[in-house]
Amino acid sequence: MNLIVFTKRVPATQEEELRITGEGKAVDLSKVPFKVNDWDNYSIEEAVRIVEKSGGAVTAVSIGDAESDEVLRRSIAMGAKDGFLIETGDVLHDPNARATLMQNFLKKENVPFDAIFTGVQSEDDQFGAVGGILAAKLGLPFVSMVIGIDATESDHLIVRRELEGGLQERVKVMLPCVISIQTGINEPRYVSIMGVRKASKVERKVFKAAGYQENVVNKIEVVKWVYPPKKAGATILSGELDGMCKELLGILKEKGVYQ
């Protein structure tokens, strides 16, 4: 089975203080480390497992600046055969614009596939919409929140999609299709620095995004970036570590959960 996996390089903002600059025009990410989108890490792993079992090849595709080559090298280290970069300096906030660019690229370059994998969402913008838009544009069936692939047959997949509260839904989807992978579907393999170094010897192809712009328009616009409104917030304990911990135990006693 030939699988295309879209993978994105994202800022790891979880532990960073983010600053808005230019009166809301931009978010300063210049000091933030970047990494592979968590969801894509699981998607690549799932795709590689399928081809390891039943043959075929995985092609990793990324949209982004030259630095996004990093996630392609990583994908190859995990077992992808090819890495394609659709190079653009622009950050496409609109999922419609991103999906249209992908559609144009797949059509023009005639990349063969039986299924396309995307992550459920990317960590930075949390849109969760690119996979669904792309599927509809390609006229292919779509399943999102895929937390298990139970069977891969020549003409269909049986997948489990995750709903709320621990419930799952088993679905049959005909090939070719687009599916969006949820974290936790597998245990992604460890990627060593040596592995990435070796992968960098495999040629990655670079395609300029300028060549695939037909109908790539922003259907939505960002007016401004703002900080979320502050709620009442927590009472922050202060002082020495030991003192704070004693205060914490005092609160637990007061709440009746600790004697």
Partner 1 sequence: MSYVLVVAEVRRGIFEERNLDSIGLCALLGKDAILLIPEGDYGMNEQLVNGLVRVKTEEALFLNPLNMVNILEKVMAARGKPDMIVFTNSASGIELASYAAGHFNLPVITDVNGYDKERGIFFKSYYSDKIFGEFRPSGEGTFIVTVRSGSFKENAAGKGSAPPAEAIEDVAANAARTFVEYVEEEKTDVDITKAEFLLSLGRGIGNKDEIPDYEELAGLLKAVISGSRPVIDKLWLPKARQVGTSGKTVKPKVYLAMGISGAFQHIAGMKDSSCIIAVNKDPEAPIFQYAHYGIIADIHKVRDALKGILKG
Ligand X SMILES: Cc1cc2nc3c(=O)[nH]c(=O)nc-3n(C[C@H](O)[C@H](O)[C@H](O)COP(=O)(O)OP(=O)(O)OC[C@H]3O[C@@H](n4cnc5c(N)ncnc54)[C@H](O)[C@@H]3O)c2cc1C
Fill in the amino acid letter for 74: R
CB of 120 to ligand X, least distance (A): 5
Pick the closest to residue 2 from 112, 82, 110 (CA basis).
112
Per-residue binding letters, 104-143, with ligand X (x by CB under 6 A): ----------------xx----------------------
Indicate the helix (H) or strand (E) that contains 161. strand 156-162
Closer residue to ligand X in complex, CB, 92/120: 120
**Residue 163: which of ligand X, partner 1, none does it interact with, CB under 5 to 8 A by kind?**
partner 1
CB of 1 to ligand X, least distance (A): 26
Nearer to ligand X, 34 or 207 (CB): 34
What is the rounded CA–CA span in Å between residue 53 and residue 228? 46
Task: Note whether 14 binds ligand X by CB under 6 A.
Answer: yes
Nearest one of 185, 186, 191, 144 to 35, comparing CA atoms:
191
Binding of residue 240 to ligand X (CB under 6 A): no
Candidate list 177, 191, 209, 216; residue touching partner 1; CB under 8 A: 177
What would you report as the CA-atom Rg of the chain, rounded to the nearest whole angstrom?
A: 21
Closest CA to 202 of 95, 90, 81: 81
Per CB under 8 A, 170 contacts partner 1: yes
By CB atoms closer than 10 A (0-12, 13-18, 19+), residue 200 is middle
- Of residues 221 through 240, those in contact with partner 1 by CB under 8 A are 221-228, 230-231, 233-237
Q: Is 33 in the site for partner 1 (CB under 8 A)?
A: no
Nearest-approach distance from CB 81 to partner 1, in angstroms: 26
97 interface partner picked from ligand X, partner 1, none, CB below 5 to 8 A per type: none
Note the maximum CA span of the chain. 69
Residue 223 C-beta: closest distance to ligand X, Å: 25
Nearest to 98 by CA among 113, 88, 111: 88
- Which amino acid is present at 228? P
- With binding defined as CB under 8 A, does residue 23 bind partner 1? no
Residue in 22, 108, 112, 163 binding partner 1, rule: CB under 8 A: 163
Between 155 and 164, name the residue whose CB sits nearer to ligand X.
164
With binding defined as CB under 8 A, does residue 187 bind partner 1? yes
Which two three-digit tokens encode residue 78? 């995990």
207 binds, among ligand X, partner 1, none (CB under 5 to 8 A by kind): none
* Nearest to 39, CA basis, from 155, 101, 130: 130
Closest CA to 132 of 143, 145, 119: 143
Footprint on this chain of ligand X (rule: CB under 6 A): 14-15, 120-121
